[in-house]
Amino acid sequence: MCGIAGLIHRHGKTGDIGTEMTAMLQSLKHRGPDSTGYALYGKPLKGNELMLRFKVAEQDEMLKGFKIHDQVKERRNEVDKRIKELGGRILETTDATEYAFRYRIDYAGDRRKLADFIEDVEGAEILSMGHGLELVKDLGDAARVAEQYHLKGFTGTHALGHTRMATESDVDIRSAHPYWAYPFADVSVVHNGQLTNYWNGRRALERRGHRFMSNCDSELIAVYLADKMQQGAELKDAMTDSIDELDGVFTYLVATSDSLGMAKDVMAAKPMVLYESEKFICLASEEVAIRSVFPHEIDTFDPYEGEVRVWKSA
């Protein structure tokens, strides 16, 4: 029942993707009121600079009194210490909330080693780490999350979004979508459906050295695609392979540093509506989300079963 959405400005153009995606996700609130998530792609950082989004507590933990606030400070200080210990430099910090933070860092080392070292801190979880990707997710609807994280005016080229109705896992940030393809930079996925070969696929990727932060099949799709691309596959080829190799009923959107992709399984049971123009691509579980960002009449259509599409931002 969850809602998914994606958009991309083409030919190197940018827009207020924070506001655009918020409008789309708020229109899909009825499909998932428990949590809302964004994967936002801003101007890519250069060289060894990385944008790091992480949390050191859950939203509901902050209601437990002064003790947790002291623990949050201690955990954040420990994260700072570990970044520096591995040779990283913290260039800029922003307190997104009391428990979630946005860091711009300079780090030339192994991203997996850094991610593992940070997440060994009690309560710490990296939401995203990359050159352009910033992943934001929390409890509540899009309006609440956008206001909480100050997403209005976030300028970028493309974005993914997700509204979640919890069915099989907890209502917390860890279980919210989108998912980052740990430890690969700038790969994120939102997904509607269910994979029936999740555990077989996960074990195969774990044998290849990959680690999972959740039991969510959306994360499996993200890591599966990133692994394929690490082996040399183009995004569209990796997505085409997924239609045959991932079992179940699903529609998913994937984003990389410069691309937005869509795939539907051969059953095509999970909805997806698409608007495509020369300058702008917009996709969502329902047409109402697309029309939330267009004041004029537009033509939309439903992609075919087994269809894979990829659009570039430049």
- Catalytic residue numbers read 2
**Which residues on neighbouring strands pair with residue 234, listed in sequence order?**
none
Q: Which amino acid is at 305?
A: E
The helix (H) or strand (E) run that includes residue 311 is strand 308-312
Query: Using an 8 Å Cβ cutoff, are 41 and 132 in contact?
Result: yes
For residues 210 and 141, give the distance between their C-alpha atoms in angstroms, rounded to a whole number.
32
Q: How far is CA 199 from CA 10, 36, 51, 128, 231, in A?
A: 37, 25, 31, 24, 22
**Which residues on neighbouring strands pair with residue 163, listed in sequence order?**
3, 36
Q: First CA to last CA across the chain, in angstroms?
A: 33
**Which residues on neighbouring strands pair with residue 41, listed in sequence order?**
133, 158
For residues 160 and 134, give the distance between their C-alpha atoms in angstroms, rounded to a whole number.
11
Q: Is 108 helix (H, G, I), strand (E, B) or coil?
A: coil
Pairing state between β 133-139 and 100-106: unpaired
Q: Is 147 helix (H, G, I), strand (E, B) or coil?
A: helix
Contacts of 34 (CB under 8 A, 6+ apart): 139, 164, 165, 166, 171, 176
Contacts of 149 (CB under 8 A, 6+ apart): 96, 97, 100, 136, 138
Which value, in Å, is the radius of gyration of the alpha carbons in the chain? Answer: 18
Query: Using an 8 Å Cβ cutoff, are 103 and 72 in contact?
Result: no
Other CB atoms within 10 A of residue 175 CB: 17
